Amino acid sequence: MKKTIAIDMDGVIADVEKQFLNWYERDFGIKMVKADIAGKGEDDAFPEKGIVRKFATTPGFFTTLPVMEGAIEAVQELMKDYEVYIVSAAMEFPLSLSEKLEWLKLHFPFISWRNIIFCGDKSIINTDFMIDDHIKNLDYFKGHPIMFHAFHNTGYTHHTRVHDWQEVLTLLKSRG
Ligand SMILES: [Mg+2]
């Protein structure tokens, strides 16, 4: 039986960071880059407090997210050796449910609806591996957690960190 992997959406296959920076420039006329927000939390990444949450609750935010570089090819590659599940805590932003599904159909049409899990608390997830950017999900995971690099997790060192999808493949291909 194939081993199972839970793959998060935001910050892992969807580049929310790039979208935050693009929307911030669009709305405030200030161009910031990933290095400017590295090490900051989601609440204090930008001078305008709460703007990240405001963006994430704006209709169209999730349908227009850029795909994380290399994610489509890497997920297809992993599916050869693993049972891949897309696991997103979509209940936090209920409006995002249909947008996230639409986004997955557009960019990851090869993922079956059976392998899409929109949930609340991820501690219920019982796969062999979990790739996620948030330690709040990884800390309570019972399998092997893999932390996808993100601006808000640069200060944490207690999980295996991957910086991009190539590193995910290198790590998991050796473990399959
Ligand atoms: Mg995430």
> 19, 27 in Cβ contact below 8 A?
no
Q: What is the mean pLDDT of residues 9-34?
A: 96
Which pLDDT does position 176 carry in this prediction?
55
Three-state secondary-structure class, residue 144: strand
Which pLDDT does position 141 carry in this prediction?
97
Considering 8, 15, 132, 133, which one is annotated as catalytic?
A: 8
Q: What is the mean pLDDT of residues 120-141?
A: 96
Q: What angle do CA 124, 127, 130 make, to 5 degrees?
A: 90
Residue 136, classified by CB atoms within 10 Å of its CB into exposed (0-12), middle (13-18) or buried (19+), is: exposed
Which pLDDT does position 2 carry in this prediction?
94
Which pLDDT does position 153 carry in this prediction?
96
User: Predicted confidence band at 33 (pLDDT cuts at 50, 70, 90)?
Assistant: very high
29: CA distance to ligand 1 center in Å? 26
Is 10 noted as a catalytic residue in this protein?
yes
Structure tokens at 136: 């709040």
pLDDT of residue 151 exceeding 70: yes
Which pLDDT does position 93 carry in this prediction?
84
Is 81 noted as a catalytic residue in this protein?
no
pLDDT of residue 157 exceeding 70: yes
Q: For residues 100 and 96, what is the distance between their CA atoms, to the nearest angstrom?
A: 6
The domain segmentation of the chain, as residue ranges, is 3-15+67-173, 16-56
Q: Sign of dihedral through CA atoms 110, 113, 114, 120?
A: positive
Cβ atoms within 10 A of the Cβ of 70, count? 16
What is the per-residue pLDDT across 67-87, written as a single tens digit (0 to 9) for each?
Answer: 999 999 999 999 999 999 999
163: CA distance to ligand 1 center in Å? 14
Phi-psi region of 29 (alpha: psi -120 to 50; beta: other; left: phi over 0): left
8: CA distance to ligand 1 center in Å? 6
9: CA distance to ligand 1 center in Å? 6
CATH of segment(s) 3-15+67-173:
3.40.50.1000
31: CA distance to ligand 1 center in Å? 23
